Structure 1
Amino acid sequence: MPARILIVDDELSMREFLAILLEGEGYQVDQAECAEDALDSMAQVKFDLVISDVSMPGLNGIQLLSRIKSQTPETAVLMITAFSTAEQAVEAMKLGAYDYIGKPFKVEEVKVLVAKALAQKTLVQENQRLKAEVQERFSFSGLVGKSKQMREVYDLISKVADSMANVLILGESGTGKELAAKAIHYNSPRRDRSFLAVNCGAIPETLIESELFGHTKGSFTGAIADRPGLFEQAEGGTLFLDEIGEVPLQLQAKLLRVLQEREFRRVGGSSSLKADVRIVAASNRNLEEQVGEGTFREDLFYRLNVVQVRMPALRERAEDILPLVEHFYKKYALWSGSGDMVTPDAAAALLNYPFPGNVRELENLVERCVVLGSRVITLECLPPKVRNFVPVSTPLDPVDIPPEGMDLQGYLDTLESRLLVQALEKSGGVKKKAAALLGMTFRSFRYRLAKFGMDDE
């Protein structure tokens, strides 16, 4: 759709000249002979650009500019006059005019200015749209669910977001800890500044200090230039430290200093830098147990644990499973139709399955169905471990074999995967303890986790 332009000038010849010129460039052009008529037109039509003379009977162009910017600030305005002065130019620019040119002007000059003014308006609108989209996505819509457990999470995030308090988010892998951290950031006064995330367990121990605090040139082999770390890059914003339980003890002491003193030094640096950064940390480990084992500093734990947010496992909020399926199906299939997205038998299987990988596993499952071309989520598109899942509490002896037969291996696989999940639950996620509960070696336990695609979870 072509951009719509309003030309405001008390001279008919000038209006018609500009109209012919701009219509020839493909724009849709309207005319007004005074500011009052222009305002009447703008009350009925949304214009992308207004080109206005300065000297007109009644309201002049500067007064019209002021009215436009107060009523529709997104409208671009270009001022034209035969009596150009520096004072007028400064006043027009202060009031928000895109530019100011004097008569007589060159045709090409007008074409270029109009194109630039419209391009800038489009860019501003796009930035505003993206900003609104980001804030909407991470306000609370990124966290889906209306269960009691999730309502408690939303309530806690709302209360803590405006403060500078450190937040510790705990929960199993795949429960949405980073989404919760983003919700805290985008509901806080720091929403217009950076949100940076780092997985502390994914960075080699020799590099994590440099990654967080930066380094100076020559501080170690390969440091060919000064480099800011994440604390500098997140200045004024939020730094999300995921898997904080993986941080080495030596670095924990330096993190504690940042939290206490709000300052740090680059690796190899001699001067302290201020750290205006909010810290949100997360872990799928039991940090209190790590404190007792001596692998996590107690003072750092209490510094991080000012406010604790616990993300519930998906099996604890089964009522959110189907709304999550709908959310992910719309995301991956760009679905905009009506009706059910999940068949009844598929819904029953999804509600029966414990989802050891939590929301992340469910999202991957829905994406898989979309990739396989399912118009709705059916039982056939679900992975075998989901559609064949049998709860451990189901009696095993005697086994009713249906007339058509049964998949014995599938039955045994689902039983084995459920026992693996239970062992992990009872051991608090500690795999060595879970292996001991099942009377097997750690290596054998890891092999079985990998067999069922549960190794990362």
Structure 2
Amino acid sequence: MSTTGRVLVVDDDGAIRTVVREALRRAGHIVETAASVAEQRRLFQSFEPEVLVTDVVLPDGNGLDIIPEMLASKPGLPVIVLSAQNTFTTALRATEQGAFDYLPKPFDLGALTRAVSDALAARAASGASDSVGPVEELPLIGRSPPMQEVYRTIARVVANDLTVLVLGESGTGKELVARAIHDFGPRAAAPFVAVNMAAIPRELIESELFGHERGAFTGAASRNAGRFEQAQGGTLFLDEIGDMPMEAQTRLLRVLQAGEFTTVGGSRAIRADVRIIAATHKDLPRLIADGAFREDLYYRINVVPIRLPSLRQRGEDIGELARYFLDRAAADGLPRKLLDAGAVDRLMRHAWPGNVRELENLMRRLAALSRDELITANVIEQQFDGGPQPDGAPPVMGAGGLAEAVEMHLTRYFASFGRDLPPDGLYDRVLAEFERPLLQLSLAAARGNQLRAARLLGINRNTLRKKLTELQIDAGTGRRSD
């Protein structure tokens, strides 16, 4: 099938019309342009386009609203939507209205040319998609190019049952993406069931996923429905699937292949009417190479991958996200706060090892603790430095306390090696790094009194002396003896 044809371009910006027209003509297409809905309707009848490229905001109407009319007149017409309103709901609505593709402004001319060629090649099979219901605002915030790719992929998969694998660092919002796919898809009225593989003991995973019969094992006093059964008709979100033990992977693969499962201790096959969305922050190909993840299961769950950008990769979204989290905190009853330009600039210069989750925690903490309504760069700086906090509160390490601070430090450490692993012996090195400042600060707090420091630490004096020797800490000064 030919990949050149008649293309109608609709945009109220004359410069965009000219640039797009010339780029498409160089690619071999016949192109007409329009600046309004009225002009689009007139040319649609006389020109009979094979592809429609339209902006959303036009002087006399909305480009999305006119799509059903165009499709009713010419079924199967591929429509490519261009929009500066680069939100998840715009991408989703474009797909709902039957658009073939969605390109956020500013767009790459090469990408548009390829989209037009793809649309012409697929026009016989294209058509209006079924509506998935009214659009509601979701906490998928951001207009950066990496998020636009996420929105486009979500919009394309919501209406079908393809298995999705959401990839990304911890704290990037993988469960939010899974919920968006469920809530805007045909299974929205059925349950969304999330299970974290990393949080379930290995010996209980099969029972947790598939349920068990009474007497199946010691302590099984009654029948219990597993997560597959609880999610029947809906969506099962398998978070941190990279932490699933090998034996459970084998059972899951059989379920995905056969479309049915049995409970632990049961014999009756139960049809698995669920959509599977999996997620992980781990490198699954590396786990496969290490023999820790089944390659055949990987191909089963990786039908449609969605890779979420880290917050540092979408820095232009930080201000919008921060204001959103402050608004949500106010809606939850916390004092309303505002960010000045300096505060947003300081937020954008932070590394964000904890990603969006770290930003949300920080905004809620500021909403609760900051005395002034306007949050400045100085207040943000104090939070990052661990210095004096608003209202004279003691330093706060984060909503997760010490564990969160350690995780943030280790996240930076691992990131510094890229795709490589740190040198072996990490466990002992981390413990030594943690122990040294703990012992030094405890000795200082006890004014060098080893008995008092040992009592503070909850260890005996001999153990403390041994640790001081091992870590080469001067018992009198609390400093390293070398």
TM-score, with structure 2 as normaliser:
0.54
- Partner residue of 2:415? 425
- The reply to whether residue 157 of structure 1 matches residue 147 of structure 2 is no
One-letter code aligned to 1:188: G
| CA gap 1:448/1:282 in 2 versus in 1, 3 angstroms | farther
Deviation at 1:446, TM superposition (A): 6.9
- The reply to whether residue 175 of structure 1 matches residue 163 of structure 2 is no
Deviation at 1:425, TM superposition (A): 1.4
- Partner residue of 1:67? none
One-letter code aligned to 1:378: T
| CA gap 1:268/1:190 in 2 versus in 1, 3 angstroms | same
Maintained 8 Å contact 1:175/1:358 = yes
- The reply to whether residue 267 of structure 1 matches residue 264 of structure 2 is yes
- The reply to whether residue 443 of structure 1 matches residue 443 of structure 2 is no
Maintained 8 Å contact 2:353/2:412 = no
Larger Rg: 1
Maintained 8 Å contact 2:337/2:373 = no
One-letter code aligned to 1:165: L
Deviation at 1:233, TM superposition (A): 0.7
Deviates more, 1:316-325 or 1:346-355: 346-355
One-letter code aligned to 2:254: R
- Partner residue of 2:36? none
| CA gap 1:259/1:149 in 2 versus in 1, 3 angstroms | same
One-letter code aligned to 2:163: N
Maintained 8 Å contact 1:163/1:188 = yes
Q: CA offsets, 1:341-394, max 9 Å, x none?
A: 2123322211110100000000000000001144232234436462689xxxxx
Maintained 8 Å contact 1:212/1:231 = yes
Maintained 8 Å contact 1:286/1:428 = no
Query: Aligned equivalents of 1:385 and 1:426: distance in 2?
Result: 23
Deviation at 1:255, TM superposition (A): 0.3
- Partner residue of 1:434? 422
- Partner residue of 2:472? none
| CA gap 1:367/1:435 in 2 versus in 1, 3 angstroms | farther
Deviation at 1:424, TM superposition (A): 1.4
Query: Aligned equivalents of 2:409 and 2:216: distance in 1?
Result: 50
| CA gap 1:439/1:200 in 2 versus in 1, 3 angstroms | closer
Q: Secondary structure at 2:279's aligned position in 1?
A: strand
Q: CA offsets, 1:216-271, max 9 Å, x none?
A: 00001111111110101100000000000111000100000111111011001111
- Partner residue of 1:147? 144
- Partner residue of 1:307? 304
Out of 367, 371, 389, the residue aligned to residue 368 of structure 2 is 371
- Partner residue of 1:136? 136
Query: Aligned equivalents of 1:205 and 1:348: distance in 2?
Result: 45
One-letter code aligned to 1:341: L
Q: Between the two proteins, what is the percent identity of the paired residues?
A: 45
One-letter code aligned to 1:443: L
| CA gap 1:447/1:280 in 2 versus in 1, 3 angstroms | farther
| CA gap 1:346/1:258 in 2 versus in 1, 3 angstroms | same
Q: Secondary structure at 1:289's aligned position in 2?
A: helix
Q: CA offsets, 1:115-174, max 9 Å, x none?
A: xxxxxxxxxxxxxxxxx99x725xxx2210000000100000010111111100000000
- Partner residue of 1:322? 319
Q: CA offsets, 1:70-112, max 9 Å, x none?
A: xxxxxxxxxxxxxxxxxxxxxxxxxxxxxxxxxxxxxxxxxxx
One-letter code aligned to 2:217: F
Query: Aligned equivalents of 1:355 and 1:293: distance in 2?
Result: 29
Q: Which runs of 5+ in 2 are unaligned?
A: 1-132, 388-405, 439-482
One-letter code aligned to 1:136: E
Query: Aligned equivalents of 1:274 and 1:295: distance in 2?
Result: 28
Q: CA offsets, 1:2-40, max 9 Å, x none?
A: xxxxxxxxxxxxxxxxxxxxxxxxxxxxxxxxxxxxxxx
- Partner residue of 2:197? 200
Out of 273, 277, 282, the residue aligned to residue 276 of structure 1 is 273
Query: Aligned equivalents of 1:242 and 1:449: distance in 2?
Result: 35
| CA gap 1:449/1:418 in 2 versus in 1, 3 angstroms | farther
TM-score, with structure 1 as normaliser:
0.57
Query: Aligned equivalents of 2:146 and 2:353: distance in 1?
Result: 18
Maintained 8 Å contact 1:349/1:386 = no
Q: Give runs of aligned pairs for residues 112-127 of structure 1, distance below 5 A.
A: none
Out of 244, 248, 256, the residue aligned to residue 247 of structure 1 is 244
| CA gap 1:251/1:437 in 2 versus in 1, 3 angstroms | closer
Q: Give runs of aligned pairs for residues 395-414 of structure 1, distance below 5 A.
A: none
| CA gap 1:349/1:440 in 2 versus in 1, 3 angstroms | farther
Query: Aligned equivalents of 1:438 and 1:217: distance in 2?
Result: 44
Q: CA RMSD in A?
A: 3.3
Query: Aligned equivalents of 1:192 and 1:348: distance in 2?
Result: 42
- The reply to whether residue 386 of structure 1 matches residue 376 of structure 2 is no
| CA gap 1:446/1:179 in 2 versus in 1, 3 angstroms | farther
Query: Aligned equivalents of 1:335 and 1:380: distance in 2?
Result: 26
Query: Aligned equivalents of 2:179 and 2:269: distance in 1?
Result: 28
- The reply to whether residue 350 of structure 1 matches residue 347 of structure 2 is yes
- The reply to whether residue 224 of structure 1 matches residue 221 of structure 2 is yes
| CA gap 1:423/1:281 in 2 versus in 1, 3 angstroms | same
Q: CA offsets, 1:156-209, max 9 Å, x none?
A: 001011111110000000000000000111121101111010111001111111
| CA gap 1:247/1:239 in 2 versus in 1, 3 angstroms | same
Q: Secondary structure at 2:136's aligned position in 1?
A: helix
Query: Aligned equivalents of 1:447 and 1:172: distance in 2?
Result: 28
Maintained 8 Å contact 1:285/1:429 = no
Maintained 8 Å contact 2:326/2:337 = no
Deviation at 1:444, TM superposition (A): 3.9
Query: Aligned equivalents of 1:448 and 1:309: distance in 2?
Result: 42
Maintained 8 Å contact 1:171/1:283 = yes
| CA gap 1:195/1:448 in 2 versus in 1, 3 angstroms | farther
Maintained 8 Å contact 2:337/2:367 = no
| CA gap 1:446/1:278 in 2 versus in 1, 3 angstroms | farther
Query: Aligned equivalents of 1:245 and 1:299: distance in 2?
Result: 14
Maintained 8 Å contact 1:372/1:381 = no
Maintained 8 Å contact 2:353/2:408 = no
Maintained 8 Å contact 1:329/1:335 = no
